Structures are given as structure tokens and as C-alpha cells.
């Protein structure tokens, strides 16, 4: 599985086999079962997770007990509670495997050491954060700009692989819909 990570790194930085072998020990590989939670709300967020295979989601439960998915991560995507990770705070979110998943984890301390010892990785993580920030900005724009139907159609067009892999109730949660509304919307679109 480490070849997946190396190939991903090579999209952003030049890294030799020797350098990669020096970088790899900073990470721990883990296997997650479907619906296994790797971080609970209230825990200190000490890890950043890279998906080798599978899908993770980040979510919170509001005061009314309603679950809201704020982010998904599929192969070669990163996920964490960024604010809590950066400052080693208690997380406001939980992270769970949507399907059986293989991940790499890096602790905050290991990442800091990695960035000091391998400056190329600083450049890599800058690219990762820039892309994640841009995606977050666009998601906020879509939430304000699109009708609910347009939002769903845009999501389907932009991320067709999610529609096939992710349960509809989680897509509804991510888009701010109830599962019932999403079912009604899909019925309307098919007729």
C-alpha cells in the first residue's frame, strides 16, 4: 500500500526511493472496519489521516441530536479536525470509516519532526492544505449560491463516484438535507 502514498507524493514533489524510505517511518498504517470510529468528539486530535483505500467521514452531532457530515475522504485524500490537530485541542468532530479502509496516520509530533527533517514534505503539505482550503471555499459558495436541487445535481456531476459508494443518508447529511428530502428529490428527478 505504501506505493499508493509514494505515487501521490510524486504528484506534488520529487521524492527518490531512498527519501521515501526515510519518510515512511513517520507514519503508522491502520486497517479500519466499516463504521469504525477513529476519533470521537472530545478527544485530543493528535492525528492526521491519509486514505490509502476506502472512505472516511468527519461529522458532528448538533444540540438537537442531528448528525451532520462535513467532509469525506476517499483514496489519496487527507482528513482531520485541522484546528484541533494544529493546536492539540479536543475535537469538535468525530471521524469514522464509511467502508472498510486502509489508512496512514501521522501524529502531530511526528509531522513536526518530518517537516523539519524533510523540507520537501513542507512543500507537499502546503499543496495539500491549499487544495483543501480552496475546496472548502467552493463548498461554502455552493451552499449559499445554489438551490437545494442545484446543489444535489452539482454534487452528482462533480463527484459521481460518491453517489455509487456512499449511502444516501450520508450524502443527505453532507448536503444539509434530510434523508427523506433527498429521496423525494431523487424521485422527482427520475420522473
Q: Does residue 10 register a pLDDT over 70?
A: yes
Give me the count of residues in the chain: 191
- Residues 37-52 have a mean pLDDT of 97
Instruction: Specify the pLDDT at position 62.
Output: 93
Dump pLDDT digits (tens) for 66-118.
899 999 999 999 999 999 999 999 999 999 999 999 999 999 999 999 999 99
Give the Cα separation of 13 and 94 in Å (integer).
31
- CA 76 from centroid of its chain's CA atoms: 9
- Find, among 167, 164, 165, 174, the residue nearest to 142 by Cα: 174
State the CATH class of domain 2-116: mainly beta
Residue that has been written with the C-alpha cell 443527505 in this structure: 172
Residue that has been written with the C-alpha cell 479536543 in this structure: 90
Q: Does residue 179 register a pLDDT over 90?
A: no
Domain boundaries, the chain: 2-116
147 burial level (CB within 10 Å; 0-12, 13-18, 19+): exposed
Q: Which helix (H) or strand (E) holds 69?
A: strand 67-73
Alpha helices in the chain (DSSP H): 2-9, 17-23, 82-87, 108-117, 119-145, 148-158, 160-165, 168-175, 179-190
Amino acid at each position: 500500500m505504501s506505493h499508493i502514498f509514494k505515487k501521490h507524493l510524486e504528484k506534488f514533489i520529487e521524492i527518490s526511493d531512498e527519501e521515501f524510505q526515510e519518510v515512511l517511518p513517520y507514519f503508522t498504517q491502520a486497517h479500519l472496519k466499516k463504521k469504525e470510529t477513529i476519533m470521537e468528539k472530545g478527544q485530543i486530535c493528535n492525528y492526521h489521516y491519509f486514505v490509502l483505500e476506502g472512505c472516511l467521514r468527519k461529522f458532528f452531532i448538533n444540540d438537537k441530536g442531528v448528525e451532520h457530515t462535513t467532509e469525506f475522504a476517499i483514496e489519496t485524500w487527507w482528513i482531520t479536525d485541522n484546528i484541533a490537530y494544529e493546536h492539540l485541542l479536543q475535537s469538535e468532530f468525530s471521524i469514522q470509516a464509511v467502508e472498510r479502509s486502509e489508512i496512514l496516520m501521522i501524529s502531530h509530533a511526528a509531522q513536526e519532526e518530518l517537516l523539519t527533517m524533510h523540507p520537501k514534505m513542507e512543500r507537499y503539505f502546503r499543496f495539500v492544505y491549499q487544495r483543501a482550503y480552496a475546496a472548502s471555499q467552493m463548498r461554502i459558495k455552493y451552499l449559499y449560491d445554489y438551490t437545494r436541487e442545484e446543489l444535489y445535481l452539482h454534487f452528482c456531476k462533480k463527484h459521481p463516484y460518491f453517489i455509487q459508494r456512499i449511502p444516501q443518508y450520508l450524502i443527505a447529511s453532507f448536503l444539509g438535507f434530510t434523508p427523506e428530502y433527498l429521496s423525494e428529490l431523487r424521485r422527482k428527478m427520475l420522473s
